[in-house]
């Protein structure tokens, strides 16, 4: 056997939609895809943070089995399909469920144009929400001077929880309850953000993919036409996101 | 013989007429369209009753009993029904009342609100009964096409209508898809 063919067999590689993608030991399918600049749709994953696997947008078919790419280790020989009509239809349904479970009125939302849930809707061609709206009644927390928490739009992605705990080292947020009763809580005696030590430059204050955690007095900063997803698709921006290195060092 | 004109009916339910304004933004193309379409019941014509039409455009969500009646009249009269704009498709800004009970809303506005004089909740035969929630139109009747946006741009209206006039299925370009 020649050296070349040996190398091919031993190489750490998987295929994604037919394309050969190398990976390093310990990487997930999502890590390998992102390194190869392949977009697997995701909302609760943010490179640089430990994956949580809770939104299920990154669902792929791996050797005939459905798995979440952000929490599945890459292993040699895996054949992964991601960009298929079936998977994108499932992702569309998940996105629609995320919309109806919360209170999302994009025309009146400060995050509109910069929102990853909305951008996912655009990417998947969502024209309507399909399911009955839940109209949940959730608490707004306006107790902090610079950071606002509007739970109406929270999709329980857990990014703020991980960012605050692992990077900011403040542990400001947690998700309490399970299933339909799950909700975002603030880890203070009063349960209020104003009594926490969160600051507007914390990663947890900036990482929310939707308009649930907002920096006050910064709303509508960029005019329509100049917002992130006015110009680019989430399939493009998602390839460039990473927790800033200095924050990882801090973490 | 001249080609039969395509009949279009339009209405605004719980909407702000912004979608209608945006439709008129197609400007001079409206003159071109005018050779091929004619308006039936619409705020543009002031015709009050919808007779059989080819296309119906619905702006606004469903917030009261009269909206339900008009929407059903449109579904019964229009071969193709299009939900236009965020309010028709999701309830939109009027649906912000959905997070409160109807009674709470009425009491806040007509009884306990700041500056209310002679507090009383209006109840007149003339007033359509409010529904418990504001509903997307597709919760009430079958909708054939959706044209999102708040409002959809003039170009989006054209992308929807021009293929339909030619008997084709419309498809909104990705850059025209927005929810705000
Ligand atoms: S958080 Fe995003 S999806 Fe929700 S209302 Fe705001 S812009 Fe729309
Ligand atoms: S507040 Fe934002 S970041 Fe935190 S869980 Fe909700 S959606 Fe995710
Ligand atoms: S990105 Fe993998 S489950 Fe959310």
pLDDT at A74 over 90: yes
When pLDDT is averaged across residues A52-81 and rounded to a whole number, the result is 97
Q: What is the largest CA-CA distance in chain A?
A: 69
**Domain residue spans in chain A?**
13-83, 87-219
Q: Which residues does chain A have within 8 Å of residue B177's beta carbon, measured at their own beta carbons?
A: 122, 125, 127
What's residue A247's pLDDT?
65
Q: Using CA atoms, how far apart are residues A162 and A180, in angstroms rounded to an integer?
A: 21
- Of A139, A142, A168, which is closest to residue A154 (Cα–Cα)? A139
Q: Does B131 touch chain A (CB under 8 A)?
A: no
**Domain residue spans in chain B?**
6-96+131-176
pLDDT at A10 over 90: no
In percent, the amount of chain B with pLDDT more than 90 equals: 86
User: How many other CB atoms sit within 10 Å of the CB of residue B38?
Assistant: 15
Residue of A45, A118, A151, A160 with the most ligand 2 atoms within 8 Å of its CB, for mutation = A160
Question: N- to C-terminal Cα distance for chain A?
Answer: 46
**Contact A128/B133, CB-based, under 8 Å?**
no
What's residue A168's pLDDT?
98
> Does the beta carbon of A54 lie inside 6 Å of ligand 3?
yes
pLDDT at A84 over 60: yes
Confidence of residue A28 (pLDDT cuts 50, 70, 90): very high
More confident residue, A1 or A134: A134
* CATH architecture classification, A87-219: 2-Layer Sandwich (3.30)
Confidence of residue B28 (pLDDT cuts 50, 70, 90): confident
Q: Using CA atoms, how far apart are residues B69 and A50, in angstroms rounded to an integer?
A: 53
In percent, the amount of chain A with pLDDT more than 90 equals: 90
Q: How many CB pairs under 8 A join A and B?
A: 65
Confidence of residue B31 (pLDDT cuts 50, 70, 90): confident
Q: How far is the CA of B85 from the centre of ligand 1 (A)?
A: 16
Does ipTM surpass 0.90 in this model? Answer: yes
Residues with CB under 6 A from ligand 1: A 104-106, 109, 111-112, 115, 117-118, 153, 210-211
Q: Name the most confidently modeled range: A161-165, B1-5, B22-26.
A: A161-165
Q: For A13-83, which CATH class?
A: alpha beta
Confidence of residue B3 (pLDDT cuts 50, 70, 90): confident
- Of B63, B51, B57, which is closest to residue B140 (Cα–Cα)? B63
Q: What is the pTM of this model?
A: 0.94
Q: Does B138 touch chain A (CB under 8 A)?
A: yes
Q: Does B90 touch chain A (CB under 8 A)?
A: yes
pLDDT at A220 over 90: no
**Contact A128/B91, CB-based, under 8 Å?**
no
Q: Using CA atoms, how far apart are residues A214 and A211, in angstroms rounded to an integer?
A: 6
Q: What is the pLDDT of residues A136-189, one digit of tens each?
A: 999 999 999 999 999 999 999 999 999 999 999 999 999 999 998 999 999 999
Q: Which residues does chain A have within 8 Å of residue B139's beta carbon, measured at their own beta carbons?
A: 132
- Across chain B, mean pLDDT equals 94
Angle at A112 between CA A110 and CA A117, to 5 degrees: 120
- Across chain A, mean pLDDT equals 94
Does domain B6-96+131-176 fall under CATH 3.50.50.60? My reply is: no
């Amino acid at each position: 056997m020649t050296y070349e063919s040996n190398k091919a067999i031993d190489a750490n590689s998987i295929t994604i939609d037919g394309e050969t993608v190398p990976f390093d030991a310990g990487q997930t399918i999502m890590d390998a895809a992102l390194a190869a600049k392949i977009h697997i749709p995701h909302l609760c994953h943010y490179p640089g943070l430990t994956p949580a696997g809770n939104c299920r947008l990154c669902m792929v078919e791996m050797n005939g089995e459905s798995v979440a790419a952000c929490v599945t280790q890459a292993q040699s020989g895996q054949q992964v399909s991601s960009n298929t009509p079936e998977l994108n239809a499932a992702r569309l349904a998940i996105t629609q469920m995320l919309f109806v479970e919360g209170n999302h009125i994009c025309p009146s939302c400060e995050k509109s144009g910069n929102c990853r849930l909305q951008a996912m809707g655009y990417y998947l061609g969502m024209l309507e929400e399909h399911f009955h709206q839940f109209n949940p009644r959730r608490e707004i927390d306006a107790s902090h001077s610079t950071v606002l928490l509007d739970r109406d739009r929270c999709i329980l992605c857990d990014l703020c929880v991980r960012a605050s705990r692992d990077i900011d080292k403040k542990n400001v947020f947690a998700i309490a309850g399970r299933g339909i009763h799950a909700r975002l809580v603030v880890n203070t005696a009063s349960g209020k953000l104003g009594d926490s030590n969160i600051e507007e430059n914390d990663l947890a204050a900036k990482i929310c993919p939707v308009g649930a955690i907002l920096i006050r007095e910064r709303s509508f900063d960029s005019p329509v036409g100049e917002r992130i997803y006015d110009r680019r698709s989430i399939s493009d921006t998602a390839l460039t996101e990473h927790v800033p290195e200095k924050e990882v060092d801090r973490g | 013989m001249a080609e039969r004109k395509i009949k279009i009916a339009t209405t605004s339910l719980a909407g702000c007429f912004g979608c209608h304004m945006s439709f008129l933004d197609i400007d001079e193309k409206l003159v071109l369209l005018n050779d091929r379409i004619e308006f039936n019941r619409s705020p543009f014509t002031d015709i009050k009753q919808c007779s059989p039409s080819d296309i119906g455009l619905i702006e606004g969500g469903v917030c009261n009993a009269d909206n339900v009646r008009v929407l059903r009249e449109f579904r019964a009269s229009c071969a193709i029904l299009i939900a236009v704009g965020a309010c028709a498709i999701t309830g939109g800004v009027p649906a912000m009342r959905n997070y409160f009970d109807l009674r709470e809303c009425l009491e806040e506005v007509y009884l306990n609100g700041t500056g209310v004089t002679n507090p009383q909740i209006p109840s007149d035969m003339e007033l359509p009964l409010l529904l418990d929630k504001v509903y997307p139109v597709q919760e009430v009747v079958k909708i054939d096409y959706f044209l999102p946006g708040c409002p959809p741009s003039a170009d989006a209206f054209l992308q929807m209508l021009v293929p339909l006039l030619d008997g084709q299925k419309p498809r909104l370009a990705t850059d025209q898809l927005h929810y705000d």
